Amino acid sequence: MIDKKYADYSWEKASALLNIDSPTGFTKKAAEFVKKEFSALGFPAEYTVKGGVLADLGGKDDNNALLLEAHTDTLGGMVAEVKSNGRLRITPLGGMNACNAETENVRIYTRSGKIYEGALQLCNASIHVNGDFSTVSRTWDSVEIVIDEDVKTDEDTRKLGIETGDIVCFEPRTRRTESGYLKSRFLDDKLSVGILLGFAKYLKDNGIVLPRRVYVHVTVYEEVGHGGSSTVPGGVTEAISVDMGCVGDGLKCTEKQVSVCAKDSGGPYSYDTVGKLIEAAKAMGADYAVDVYPHYGSDVEATLRSGADIRHGLIGAGVYASHGYERSHIDGVYNTLKLLCGYLNV
């Protein structure tokens, strides 16, 4: 049985990755971290042309290979307009919600390499001034980035080097509580990348040779729908997304469990693969739940839509408040590791 220390290791790596800003389209440094970590564990890793990372965990059966997919791109923003008052209108990268992002601190990355701080605020954000504060609909046109510099005009802001197309990254506020809860923006899906690194660490430490060849593809465009649409090595017959498990009304999963997704907005996952995942969870004593996600898409669905002839599945540690300030638990990480070990008979 895999030791729980590998869950702690997974969180250590996830936490480090969470502190690297990497919204969709701005993922180079996060990919560098991922490649370095897999390589340090002794597993060959290379960049894809799109900027993701493909790692080879080895294994005996090359003709029945498994592809594990997770993503390191996150939600974020891009400067859409430098406004006449020197503030910024932004457009979201991925499914960032203006309501959820209000009052969050941000970092603005310019193409010259300079980084500026700011915060996302409602336009006219002072309650003592704005009598309509409570009733204004929060949209990307009614909020703005207030830059923490002395700017009053668009010219002032442009003198800093800030222009349309610059990247806006939201503060993740990552922490682990004494009770084991894991809180941060962007647990979706950096927590899963940490889990796959924890699984790789377990293989290395114990000299395990997998019964079937296993590849890991850490993608960088999942949040906009095409992360997993390429880079399927030869011999792969099955792919499993390791992504966040949904927690919310109408679902059984909690933050302490591993979720097995039977269907999401893209349709059902492979009936056989889902069944085998359930049996593996039972065999390993992993605390799990099977759920249907109403508003969700995954890397592995992009893989199938690209034409890959493979079976597919989706698992992940339960995450509450998805696409917001998210929360999971170290037990959910551990149960996901146990399920991976059971599925691969290690």
Residue numbers annotated as active site: 222
CA distance 324 to 95: 10
CA distance 339 to 68: 13
CB neighbourhood size of 345 (10 A)? 10
Query: Residue by residue, what is the 3-state secondary structure of the chain?
Result: CCCCHHHHHHHHHHHHHHCCCCECCCCHHHHHHHHHHHHHCCCCEEECCCCCEEEECCCCEEEEEEEEEEECCECEEEEEEECCCCCEEEEEECCCCHHHHCCCEEEEECCCCCEEEEEEEECCCCCCCCCCCCCCCCCCCCEEEEECCCCCCHHHHHHCCCCCCCEEEECCCCEECCCCEEEECCHHHHHHHHHHHHHHHHHHHCCCCCCEEEEEEEECCHHHCCCCCCCCCCCEEEEEEECCEEECCCCCCCCCCEEEEEEECCEECCHHHHHHHHHHHHHHCCCEEEEECCCCCCHHHHHHHCCCCCEEEEEEEEEECCCCCEEEEHHHHHHHHHHHHHHCCC
The encoded tokens of residue 296 equal 């969700």
- Report the DSSP pairing between strands 212-219 and 61-71: parallel
